[in-house]
Structure 1
Amino acid sequence: MNLDFFINFFYESIRVFLYVSGPLLLSSLLIGFIISFFQAITQIHEQTLSFIPKILAIFFTLFYFGPWMLHNILNYMYFVFNNIPVIISN
Structure 2
Amino acid sequence: MGPEVFVDILRDALLLVIMLVSAVILPSLFVGLLVAIFQAATSINEQTLSFLPRLIVTLLALVYGGHWGVQKLMDYTFRLVASIPSVVS
Q: TM-score, normalised by structure 1?
A: 0.86
Report percent identity of matched pairs: 28
SS in 1 for 2:44: coil
The superposition leaves residues 2-49 of structure 1 with CA deviations (integer Å, 9 ceiling, x where unpaired) of: 122112101110111011111111011001100100000000011111
The superposition leaves residues 51-83 of structure 1 with CA deviations (integer Å, 9 ceiling, x where unpaired) of: 111111011111211111011111122233334
Structure 2 portions without partners, runs of 5+: none
* Number of the residue aligned with 1:21: 21
Q: How many residues align?
A: 89
Matches within 5 A, 1:1-90: 1-85=1-85, 89=88
Q: CA deviation at 1:86?
A: 5.2
CA RMSD between the two structures? 1.6
Once residues 58 and 84 of structure 1 are traced to their aligned partners in structure 2, the CA distance between those partners, rounded to angstroms, is 35
Question: Which amino acid in the other structure matches residue 37 of structure 1?
Answer: I
Question: Which amino acid in the other structure matches residue 70 of structure 1?
Answer: V
Structure 1 portions without partners, runs of 5+: none
SS in 1 for 2:61: helix
